[in-house]
Structure 1
Amino acid sequence: MASPAFDDYLKTVYSHTEWQDAPITPSQLAAAVGVAPSSVTEMVKKLAAAGLVSHVPYGAVKLTDAGRARALAMLRRHRLIETWLVSEFGYAWHEVHDEAEVLEHTISDRLLEGIDERLGRPRFDPHGDAIPDAAGHVQREPFVLLADAAPGHVGRVLRVSDRDPDLLQALEDAGVAVGVEMTVTDAGVHLTGAEITLPEAAADAIWLSV
């Protein structure tokens, strides 16, 4: 059943556990999607009836195997489009999410395959999120959230959350990018040998290699 609304919910459920282990609750899902809890309840019932999620009243929402496969297929589309927009059209990383949200539901499988081939089969999007391959496989190395990294930890920036475009722009202005080496200190972080001050929200939006 083709349904952009279904796909958006499934992507949100999957993404919630992509960089941490706790499953998403209905209230968290409502906040992430931006709808009333009652609307989430109805949609989760539809997703469960379609065999895409498992859910008990007041419990967490979890993807079934079918739901996970569908979520990964949509994330592949979304993340390849984001990478394409940055690589081919000069978009900044804080500008691509909304464009990809529209295009992911409209382009053909043939065009998606052409984009993937032209880009050289990229493994990660501009924010460091893994791009599933055509079979739904995802590769990712071990990581730690900046907020949980101990002073003295040295790691490459693996991923920056794309949830807040203003924060993304501020981090870019500070020199933060996927692949840059960062050293955690008692006072903050060192980036390319210099002490920098990051926005407070950055601690929960940057993931480092371990």
Structure 2
Amino acid sequence: MTITEENYLKTIYKLAEAEPGQGVSTNRIAAALATRAASVTDMLRRLAEKGLLAYEKYRGVRLTPEGQRLALLTVRKHRLWEVFLVQQLGFSWDEVHEVAEELEHVQSPLLMQRLDAFLNYPTLDPHGDPIPAEDGAMRRPLHRLLTDLSLDECGTLAALKDTSAPFLQYLDKVGLHLGAQVRILAKVAFDNSLELRVNRDRMVLISAEAGKNLYII
């Protein structure tokens, strides 16, 4: 597998995960990878010839079981490296993505097995995303969006929908981190912003857009 092929499979997997039950269109893949649709078509043909994806007319592409396995392997490596970078090298959660994008292409199953053991077999990455097991199995916690909570309802911040560096930096600025206990104190009628109590000791006001990107358990 080339680095480009791995990136395509991972991208198709993530796009399909965002809209379950639907094929992934060439245009969506091109937009996600910031490349031309013609280039995407050529790569999709190559991956199909390798038995890694299937194309359905008018419905886009879907990963085959082998394509899904390889995509999840790349996701697993990426998320394990993110844990390592945060826990062992002192990276902040907004710094790890680009570095992990490079490390995820290391082709050494033994290295990844030993990294997993060294980290004591983590199940979540620093952003709360589940880490696939070596066989591709992945436990998905039952999350709710913060904006779906009712007034005075509480929960634990468990994962993020948006893991971009600017959003992570925003959360750092307002003091919202995974594991925080939050309670909805008010929903502002003017702009749907949310007034929260965090860890029972302070108040935070966040936008509705921010609330739509926070998962609670």
Query: 1:207 is matched with which residue: 208, 212, 215?
Result: 215
Distance 1:182 1:40, change over 3 A: farther
Distance 1:170 1:12, change over 3 A: same
Q: Could you tell which deviates more after superposition, 194-203 or 120-129? A: 194-203
The whole-number CA distance in structure 1 between the counterparts of 2:53 and 2:43 is: 10
The whole-number CA distance in structure 2 between the counterparts of 1:40 and 1:145 is: 33
Structure 1: stretches of 5+ with no match in the other structure: none
Structure 2: stretches of 5+ with no match in the other structure: 189-193
What is residue 199 of structure 2 aligned with on the other side? Answer: 192
Measured after TM superposition, the shift of residue 205 of structure 1 is 2.5
The structure with more radius of gyration: 2
Measured after TM superposition, the shift of residue 174 of structure 1 is 1.5
Distance 1:150 1:98, change over 3 A: same
Whether the 8 Å contact between 1:73 and 1:132 is mirrored in structure 2 is: yes
The whole-number CA distance in structure 2 between the counterparts of 1:61 and 1:207 is: 29
With normalisation by structure 1, the TM-score equals 0.88
Identity %: 31
Whether the 8 Å contact between 1:143 and 1:207 is mirrored in structure 2 is: yes
What is residue 121 of structure 1 aligned with on the other side? Answer: 121
With normalisation by structure 2, the TM-score equals 0.85
Q: How many residues align?
A: 207
What is residue 4 of structure 2 aligned with on the other side? Answer: 5
The whole-number CA distance in structure 2 between the counterparts of 1:155 and 1:25 is: 36
The whole-number CA distance in structure 1 between the counterparts of 2:210 and 2:58 is: 31
Distance 1:63 1:189, change over 3 A: farther
Task: Tell me how large the CA RMSD over aligned residues is.
Answer: 2.1
What is residue 101 of structure 1 aligned with on the other side? Answer: 101
Distance 1:144 1:137, change over 3 A: same
Whether the 8 Å contact between 2:127 and 2:163 is mirrored in structure 1 is: no
Aligned residue for 1:130, secondary structure, equals coil
Measured after TM superposition, the shift of residue 98 of structure 1 is 0.6
Measured after TM superposition, the shift of residue 200 of structure 1 is 5.3
The whole-number CA distance in structure 1 between the counterparts of 2:195 and 2:51 is: 45
The whole-number CA distance in structure 2 between the counterparts of 1:85 and 1:72 is: 20
Measured after TM superposition, the shift of residue 142 of structure 1 is 1.1
| 1:70-89 paired onto structure 2 within 5 Å | 70-89=70-89
What is residue 130 of structure 2 aligned with on the other side? Answer: 130
Aligned residue for 2:62, secondary structure, equals strand
Deviations 1:98-151 (A, max 9, x none): 10111111262222112111111000000111111111110122112334x143
Counterpart amino acid of 2:213? A
Aligned residue for 2:206, secondary structure, equals coil
The whole-number CA distance in structure 1 between the counterparts of 2:102 and 2:62 is: 25
Whether the 8 Å contact between 1:26 and 1:58 is mirrored in structure 2 is: no
Q: Could you tell which deviates more after superposition, 20-29 or 42-51? A: 20-29
| 1:45-56 paired onto structure 2 within 5 Å | 45-56=45-56
